[in-house]
Structure formats: structure tokens, C-alpha cells
Structure 1
Amino acid sequence: MQASLLLEDGSFFRGQSIGFPTETTGEIVFNTAMTGYEEVLSDPSYLGQIVLFTSSYIGNTGINFEDLESKQMYAEALICKNIPAYADNYRSKKSLHEFLYHQKKSAIFDLDTRLLVQKIRNSGCLYGIISNTDNDINSLKEKLIQSQKKILANTVSIYSKTENTISLKAKTGQKKYKVAVFDFGIKQGILDCLSNLGCDISLIQYPYSIEALDAIQPDGIFFSNGSGDPSVLAEETNILNDMQNIFSKYPCFGICLGHQLIGLSFGAKINKLNSGHHAINHPVKSFLTQPHKVMITSQNHNFVVDIENIKNEFEVTHIHLNDNTLAGMKHKYLPIYSVQFHPEANPGPRDAEEIFHYFIELMNTFKKEKNNA
């Protein structure tokens, strides 16, 4: 199918399309990973966004389902340079075209992705429309103007209508910990990491209620990754007040959106990056070890916490070495810490998996202090 891409700055591209006959609007972000397109497309953090892959070929290994991070595709659509006609991998169960068609999503390819990436790098993430049913530029301009921008919506509420997982049992024999997860769009890889460390997991989903914790009686609280602007979620829910009531009672750990909400709940500012961090090769310096070490991390976010006005309460644990933005923090007095990257690393690398062990240690220490009190 012939397809068209129109950006909010007026740039217009023509290409080819696979997948479902449809039109899609969203914020376009680019991902520089050379592998892992299945994990990226099924990551709930990409809800409301169109993913532009910089890798030359996408779809060559098909879709195998075991590598998916959720039950469906959350990215609105994808843009890439080339898509092979056939998937060639022994694990493949579907081609990318079949997967997209089943998900009622589409891809546009055979266009200048290098120019697109340069444009986003210079101008910041741009809103756009992809269509393989309407290739008239004037018609697409009108539709783009009239479309409601999903990036301004509470995308977590949209996500909550799609996933119905309630709990996940520990995978290492007898359970050791109960963990309550505030689910803003959690990835399967995170659940697997916690489960492999002996955690029984109960998900608390939107609309969030602190009363749900009473029935769980957890050893720790996890605030998950997710999509959208944390300030919008905070404005439309009581989540920040609920978190304040939780912090003194339980050990807490947050990743990405969860990290940003922890910062917001203590009064930190949230800044939006120009083009975001979306890749699996981001260097992060950790101050948790002596000597300090550098980890290569998987990242997917457009927003970062500005820790300056809460430095009396938090200390920096990780810094992003490309732009010196905050990549991790720990409360000085309460059992709270969080990171702005994905230690579960789906797709890799696995340098930061030890971050989950810190959460286990935090729960152990808290439990001992509580028993000795």
C-alpha cells in the first residue's frame, strides 16, 4: 500500500505501508536500538507515540510472542527504512505485517528516515499523522489539525482499559516477599525480574486507591514505568497524595514514570527533553558502588526529574553521561529510591539488573528494623 506521513511543521513524506488500512496520529520519537523491535512495539510506555526506528531493517526476525512486553502493541505505529518481504527466524510465529494487521496498526517505510531523525533531533519530538488510506496532503492537514493529541491526555487511563492482570506468583519456590505494584504501564520483563527474586506481585491499577494496600499487606511498593506526562496524571488523580501516605510505611522503588511521580510528590520539577532517550546504549554512572562504575542501559522516556529543589531530601545515585540529566535518586531518610532507566533490560543490555537486588535489600532492612522496633 502507498502511505503518507505529515508532520505538524508541514513536512510531508510518501512511502510504502504494511499492516492494517488505517490512519494514526501521535508524537513521533526515534529509537536507535539495533535490536528488540518486538519489545519496543509492545512496551506500554509508547502509548500515544509513533516509533521511528533508525535501524536499517525492521521485521526481519518476525514476531515470536515470547519477547513481547505486554499482551498487545502499544506504539501507535512505526516508521522505518526497510521491511523485508519475509521473516527469517526459527522462533517466528508471525510476520510483522501479520502482527500489525491483527493489532489494527500500520507501518510506513521506504522513506528518508535519516532526514526524519535529524528533523526531530533539531526541532524536538513532532506530532504527526500516518495514513495508508488517504494520501492527499490537504486532507491530512485538516485531519491533523482536528485530531485530539493523545500526548496531552492521561494515557495511563487509556492503558488501564486494556490490561487485566491481577497477580504474578514468585518463580523461585516459596515466596519471600509481597510486592504491591502501582501499574502505570508495566512491562512483562519487570514482573519477571521481581518474580524471579521471590516476589509475589499484586497489581494496583487505575483508578488507584491506597485502600487496596490494606488487603495486600505488602513488604514493599513498586511504582512502574508508563506513558505520558506525569504532571497530567498527577492533575487528574490523587496519586501524589496517596504516595505521600505510603512513603513512611513501606520501602518504595520506582522506574521511569514511577521515578518521575516520586520526584513530583516531593515537589521536584519535571522537564521535557528535546527528543527523549529511546535506545539500549545509554551510559549511566552509578554512585552506589565504590569505585563508581558506568553501566550501559536501556531507556525510554521524554521527561526527567530536576532534583535541584529537593536536594535536602534526596541524593543523586545515577547520572546520564550523555547530557548529565538525573538517572537515579535515593531519599536520605526514608526507604525510597528510583531510576530513570530500565534495569530489566528488555531489550538488553543487562548491566543494571542488580538494581532489583537493591529493592530486595531495602525490604529486608525495613523488615528487620520493624521487627526490632
Structure 2
Amino acid sequence: MSRIAKLALADGTVFEGEAFGAEGEVFGEVVFNTSMTGYQEILTDPSYCGQIVTMTYPQIGNYGVNSEDVESGGIKARGFIVREYCRRPSNYRSDRSLDELLTEQGVIGIEGLDTRALVRRLRVEGAMTGVLSTTDLDNASLIEKAKSSPELSGIDYVKEVMPSESNDWASGLDELGRGLQEFPSDKSQAEPHVVAIDYGMKWNIPRHLRESGCRVTVMPGNSSAEDILKLNPDGVFLSNGPGDPRPLNYAVETIRGLLGQTPVFGICLGHQLLGLACGADIFKLKFGHRGANQPVLNRESGQVEITSQNHGFALVADSMPEDVEVTHLNLNDDTVAGIRHRKHNAFSVQYHPEASAGPHDSHYLFHQFKSMLNT
């Protein structure tokens, strides 16, 4: 038996569709992702905390879900919007359906609405707050809730998704699970030691750091520079994470305390925070970059990399201080996609070189980071 669900946007637009997953009502910033695959990784990416995700690819759920293709301990997106949900998944790796996963984790899904019309509205008007509900189906009530719900800007969502304590990360790309455990005292202790500051880190990032031959300690996003440097790291990694970087003064102060003390590499939110720590400004993109097909120009090599991206904010190019160089540009809109400090061993990119599912053009960045480490 079908269940009705409705999505109301803050501009007064209402979309009706059929519910799958959990019952209930949620609000969040409504955004869209243009990837054709990787919906399980998208849902479990902590960078989507506070957001309701729309997939532009029309059929979602056709290969089911499994226990391996996850980027965190559970779904972090607040809601999920698709054109057509596949109720009969077919893949040898699937162990349950997307509907079962959403139901287990209390996340509402909606299908059957015109996602092309929704995405067009978000592109024209910009990403905006919305309410997704299976319980309140009154249009006027939902619109009022959408208008009165808080916007994503100015809220610290990192505190909702970062870990509460430090851990060592043991697993590489060919090993399953999160891999948090104590390291043995032999080979791993001889490997360069990287502290990964977790602002909502995708699990595939420490897997890549391990794969490149580094020992990895994960520390919470609110760790101080003093506590990090006590571990004598050979380098520090700044992770991705959700929302607006501007409220994260504690993270910016930590990064300022690390510059010049140890090599630093940042991805996504970590890139934005490095830019803020260096003195650059941030602005909110109209509808963000979310998808696995974003072209980026490497200004040093002249090569174009196809990249996976997920962010709603960007560094202001004209605000870069003299000691910061722009190394990469997003070719869709010329926004800053990479920076490097001219005096300190510190660089960052706005995209995800570790992407899974996604292109592999930018894996070299992990090896570039390793070559900078204090070993």
C-alpha cells in the first residue's frame, strides 16, 4: 500500500510523491547530487548532515545496499529524494534494499515527484530550506514550517558528526570496516605518522592515507594544536565535514597553530578552514557543487581532473593573501578548487580525491602529501 509524502520548500513550492523508508517529518537544506551511482556513500557521508538530498539520476536503489560501501557509522542525510525508487535490487553484493536501510535508520525517502522541476528550481532560486513529511500533508502548514525552519548558514554541524575521542585507524582500501584499533609495535611504528582531524570525515580518506603507507591517528575536530603536536605527527590532515565553515573558530585557531609546525593537507571543509586560517574569505555558493563529474584545472600541470565534489561554500579568489597560491580551479564556474601556502608545507583541495564511487584522477594528492611528511 502506497504512502503519500510531501516536500515543501521555503519559497512556497510543494511537491507530492510516494514515501519509502521511515515515517515522520524532517527539515533541512534541500540540495541535489548529479552522481549516477554511489547513493549509499552519499547518504552516509557526514558532509550531508543537516541536508535533504535529491538525486538527479532518475532510478535509485537498483543495486541495493551492503555493509561495505559506507562512509560513516550510519546515514547522515536528513532525507532522500528520488524520481523512481527500485523495489527489486539486483546485485551480488547487495544484502538488503535501500528502503530497508532507510527504515532501519529512521530516514524518510520520497519518490515519484518531478526531480527535474525540483532541481531546476534549486538552480534558479538557490538551495533552500525544505520540510519533508509523511505525517503532515497540509500544504499551508508545511510551507509555514519550511519558512520558519533555520537555514544551514551560521550553524556548527561539525559538532554533530565529529568523534568524541581519538583513535588509531588500521584498515586500508582492501580491508573492510572502520578499522579503529591499537597498532602493533613493529612495522606500523616505522611508518610516517599522520594525525587526521575529523570534522565529519569520510572513511575512505583514512583508508587512502593507510594505503599510501602512513600510520593514522584520528582526532576530534575540536582538538587543539597543542594536543595534536604532543603526538609528534609527521603531518596533519584536515578532513571534510558538513555545513558552513565560518562558525568553526576553534578549528581555524587550531590550524593557525599548526602552520609552520608540521605539513598540512586539507580536503573539502578542511580546504575551506585552511583558507580561513590563512586569511581568505568564504562565500556561499548558490546551489553548491555535488556530484562525481566536476572538471578541475590543475594550474601547475595544465591537466584537467574529473573530480567528485560535495560542498556549498567556497573560498573567495580575490581575498587570497600574498603567501597563498591558487593551484586548482573549478572549470564550471572558476571557483577556487585548490590552494598552497608559499612559505609553509600546507596545501588543500576543494574536491574529494578519495571518492568512492567516483573518478580516480586525483589519487596522486595522497602521495604528494606523503612526500612532504617530516620523516
Q: Report if TM-score (shorter chain) is over 0.5.
A: yes
Which 10-residue stretch deviates more, 91-100 or 213-222? Answer: 213-222
State which of 167, 187, 206 in structure 2 corresponds to 1:191: 206
Alignment deviations for residues 13-70 of structure 1 (CA, whole Å, 9 cap, x no partner)? 1100101111011001111111111111110001011111000101111111211111
SS in 1 for 2:8: strand
State which of 325, 347, 350 in structure 2 corresponds to 1:340: 350
State which of 66, 72, 92 in structure 1 corresponds to 2:74: 72
Q: Which runs of 5+ in 1 are unaligned?
A: 368-373
1:256 aligns with 2:268: yes
Report deviation, 1:166. Answer: 1.4
Q: Contact 2:54/2:81 (CA < 8 Å) preserved in 1? A: yes
Report deviation, 1:85. Answer: 1.7
Distance 1:321 1:202 in 2: 35
Structure with the higher helix share, 1 or 2 = 1
Report deviation, 1:164. Answer: 6.0
When residues 164 and 35 of structure 1 are mapped into structure 2, their CA distance, relative to the original with a 3 A threshold, is farther
Runs of 4+ in structure 1 deviating by more than 6 angstroms, as ranges, are: none
1:327 aligns with 2:337: yes
Distance 2:52 2:64 in 1: 19
The residue correspondences of 1:292-303 to structure 2 (distance < 5 A) are 292-303=302-313
State which of 234, 242, 251 in structure 2 corresponds to 1:219: 234
Q: TM-score of the superposition, structure 2-length normalised? A: 0.92
State which of 97, 103, 106 in structure 2 corresponds to 1:104: 106
Distance 1:15 1:193 in 2: 39
Q: Contact 2:11/2:147 (CA < 8 Å) preserved in 1? A: no
Which 10-residue stretch deviates more, 278-287 or 311-320? Answer: 311-320
Which residue is 2:183 aligned to? none
State which of 110, 116, 119 in structure 2 corresponds to 1:117: 119
Q: Contact 1:178/1:218 (CA < 8 Å) preserved in 2? A: yes
Q: How many residues align?
A: 359
When residues 115 and 47 of structure 1 are mapped into structure 2, their CA distance, relative to the original with a 3 A threshold, is same
Alignment deviations for residues 215-255 of structure 1 (CA, whole Å, 9 cap, x no partner)? 42110000000001000222xxx222221111111000000
Distance 1:215 1:241 in 2: 17
Q: Which runs of 5+ in 2 are unaligned?
A: 174-185
SS in 2 for 1:355: helix
Q: Contact 2:66/2:94 (CA < 8 Å) preserved in 1? A: yes
State which of 133, 156, 159 in structure 1 corresponds to 2:158: 156
Distance 2:312 2:364 in 1: 24
Alignment deviations for residues 268-316 of structure 1 (CA, whole Å, 9 cap, x no partner)? 1101111100010011111233xx2111000000111113233411112
Which residue is 2:295 aligned to? 283
SS in 2 for 1:357: helix
Which residue is 2:247 aligned to? 232
Which residue is 1:82 aligned to? 84
Which residue is 1:371 aligned to? none
Alignment deviations for residues 151-199 of structure 1 (CA, whole Å, 9 cap, x no partner)? 54210011136x7671213759933211111110100111110011111
Distance 1:326 1:243 in 2: 19
Q: Contact 1:5/1:128 (CA < 8 Å) preserved in 2? A: yes
Which residue is 1:16 aligned to? 18
CA RMSD after TM alignment: 1.7
1:181 aligns with 2:193: no
Which residue is 1:49 aligned to? 51
Q: Contact 1:60/1:86 (CA < 8 Å) preserved in 2? A: yes
